[in-house]
Chains A and B, each alone.
Chain A
Amino acid sequence: MDKKTKIIALCGKGGVGKTSVSALMIKNLAQRKDLKVLAIDADPAVGLCTALGVQIKKTVDDIRNDLINSIKKGESQDKAATLNMLDYELFDALTEYDNIGLLAIGRPESEGCFCKVNSLLKDIIQDLAKNFDVVLIDGEAGVEQINRRVMKTVDHLIMISDTSAKGVNVASTIKHLAQDNKAVDYKSMGMILNRARDESEVSNIKENLPIQLLGWLPEDDLIREFDFQGRSFLDFPDSAGACKTVKQIIQDLQIL
């Protein structure tokens, strides 16, 4: 039977620890050597690449801008040849580490509407993704960016928030956009609370939470240390509480 790719997207307000959680998920997934994992850094700041200690040579937006420039120069664009060229360039942009491929989306620089180019690139990313067992997208705050630039459909949409009202509100807005405005198709949705003080704080928030709580992480000195020192989260100790919690969450989601 053909294997099915599982796609997870993480979103949430900036600064809530979304990238650290993404990096810990990748760390856990990378340990399953029988799985191929595609990590997509959809944040223009390319924070996931830094958190994994990976140097990016080229982003999807570099490829996009090259194509737009060649269109502007009037170079002829046969569709099939263009798709094959984008596929080649995209694979060249993939940074590989063991069983992980990391792709950075980057920041769009060209002004104007290039929906057709975005759409071609999205098709190629989706085709590439089918070759992997798990795809994890570390998104921007807005879920619509995932749809527009990376993937139309995801299996698990995971909101990350700290315990602030702002963070939880942003997560609720994302839920509204995804659910009511159909900003992205998804099969399940849940939230991870980050930097919670204790169980009772989580219980208080959970009472009014409009989204299923998948798990929570306390304020963690080790995460802060890894962030501060720019160490790769792939080296994060397995025995650390945050690593175990994230592993449990992905096991509960039946991704591992």
Chain B
Amino acid sequence: MELFGETFLDIRNYIEGKNCRSLAAAEQNNAWPLGKGRNVVLSDEMAVELGSPQMNSVSCLIWTQKPDLIRDGKINLIGPDVKDSPEKSLPFGKVVLIGVSGFDEESAYDKYKEIEAVRYSLDLKGYMIRAVSQYQREWSRISREAVQKGFSFEVLGSALREEYLKKSFVHAVEFLFVTSSGEDVGELQEITKNVGRKISALNKMLSEIDPDCDECEYNDVCDEVDELKGMRKTRDEKRMNTNG
């Protein structure tokens, strides 16, 4: 099922309209040392932090079953890389574009949860992540030692891609990282503002036995997305048949 057709288009237009650098994720196994579960980076040892609660931050993940929408292994970077950061704290935007298969009405939400959990399991020495999918925010810190040893968005993207590709239903991964300005991140927030709500609507439709669409907070996104509209129609037909 395709929930994010328009978002994919908007992201492409966004990237084209910015001064974007293109990096490539490494194909070989990620060689970055493990944090061994000790991944807290205190400000005292930090080189740079991205998307802190005091800064603009947006992070989301969108998927498609159309392979031509993803440029596998590509890392789009708008703004300075970690080592070139002019400030200790930068606004941060991140979108992960994932090419998948087998996302149907029944399985899409569970599979989404599996890929959503990947970023939390990443264990890279000197890299700390705190993220809240409900807020679509991601806050990360990179230690001075990690930057000295060459930590970059290429390292991060490569490690993440490797983890995503371990899922049998993930076939391609592309990244967009934005560190240029609060305005650029704000623009990305606007483009992706309904991503989380579409996923929540999907979850609600699957988990609630008898939802009242008139009262539902996600009614507008179900009206907007064909797949959700279809799910709602099928559910309503089933309900009518059951009620005779």
A interface residues (Cβ-Cβ under 8 A, vs B) = 2-3, 36, 76, 78, 80-81, 84-85, 87-88, 91-92, 96, 98-99, 101, 128, 130-132
Complex partner residue of B38 from A76, A81, A91, A131, CB under 8 angstroms: A131
Do residues B36 and A88 form an inter-chain contact, with CB atoms below 8 A?
no
When distances are taken between beta carbons in the complex, the residues of chain B under 8 Å from A92 are 53, 130, 139
When distances are taken between beta carbons in the complex, the residues of chain A under 8 Å from B39 are 131
Asked if B44 CB lies within 8 Å of chain A CBs, one says yes
Do residues B139 and A84 form an inter-chain contact, with CB atoms below 8 A?
no
B interface residues (Cβ-Cβ under 8 A, vs A) = 36-40, 42-45, 53, 113, 117, 120, 130-135, 137, 139, 200, 203-204
Residue of B with least CB distance to A38: B40
Do residues A81 and B134 form an inter-chain contact, with CB atoms below 8 A?
yes
Given contacts A76-B204, A84-B120, A88-B139, contact A131 B134 (CB under 8 A): no
CA of A73 to CA of B135, assembled, Å: 17
When distances are taken between beta carbons in the complex, the residues of chain A under 8 Å from B120 are 84
Residue of B with least CB distance to A127: B37
Sample 8 A-B pairs with CB under 8 A, ordered by A number: A76-B204, A78-B113, A85-B135, A87-B130, A92-B139, A99-B42, A128-B40, A132-B40
When distances are taken between beta carbons in the complex, the residues of chain A under 8 Å from B132 are 81, 84-85, 88
* A-B complex: 7 closest residue pairs judged by Cβ atoms: A131-B40, A88-B130, A85-B132, A88-B132, A96-B43, A91-B130, A98-B44
CA of A99 to CA of B131, assembled, Å: 23
Instruction: Tell me the total A-B contact number using a CB cutoff of 8 A.
Output: 53
CA of A70 to CA of B204, assembled, Å: 17
- Decide if the interface of chain B is mainly helix, strand, loop or mixed: mixed
CA of A2 to CA of B38, assembled, Å: 9
Q: How far is the CB of B92 from chain A (nearest CB, A)?
A: 14
Residue of B with least CB distance to A2: B36
When distances are taken between beta carbons in the complex, the residues of chain B under 8 Å from A80 are 113, 117
CA of A81 to CA of B130, assembled, Å: 12
10 A-B pairs besides A99-B42, A132-B40 with CB distance below 8 A are: A76-B200, A76-B204, A78-B113, A80-B113, A81-B134, A85-B132, A92-B130, A101-B42, A128-B40, A130-B38
Do residues A36 and B53 form an inter-chain contact, with CB atoms below 8 A?
no
The interface centre, meaning the residue of B132, B137, B139, B200 with most chain A CB atoms within 10 A of its CB, is B132
CA of A91 to CA of B53, assembled, Å: 10
CA of A120 to CA of B39, assembled, Å: 20
CA of A84 to CA of B121, assembled, Å: 12
CA of A7 to CA of B135, assembled, Å: 33
Residue of B with least CB distance to A131: B40
Residue of B with least CB distance to A132: B40
CA of A130 to CA of B203, assembled, Å: 33
CA of A96 to CA of B132, assembled, Å: 21
Do residues A130 and B43 form an inter-chain contact, with CB atoms below 8 A?
no
Do residues A81 and B42 form an inter-chain contact, with CB atoms below 8 A?
no
Given contacts A76-B204, A88-B139, contact A96 B44 (CB under 8 A): yes
CA of A95 to CA of B43, assembled, Å: 10
Q: How far is the CB of A38 from chain B (nearest CB, A)?
A: 9
Q: How far is the CB of B111 from chain A (nearest CB, A)?
A: 14
Residue of B with least CB distance to A5: B38
When distances are taken between beta carbons in the complex, the residues of chain B under 8 Å from A99 are 42, 44-45
When distances are taken between beta carbons in the complex, the residues of chain A under 8 Å from B139 are 88, 91-92
Residue of A with least CB distance to B119: A84
Given contacts A76-B204, A80-B113, contact A85 B40 (CB under 8 A): no
Residue of B with least CB distance to A75: B134
Residue of A with least CB distance to B35: A131
CA of A80 to CA of B120, assembled, Å: 11
When distances are taken between beta carbons in the complex, the residues of chain A under 8 Å from B38 are 2-3, 130-131
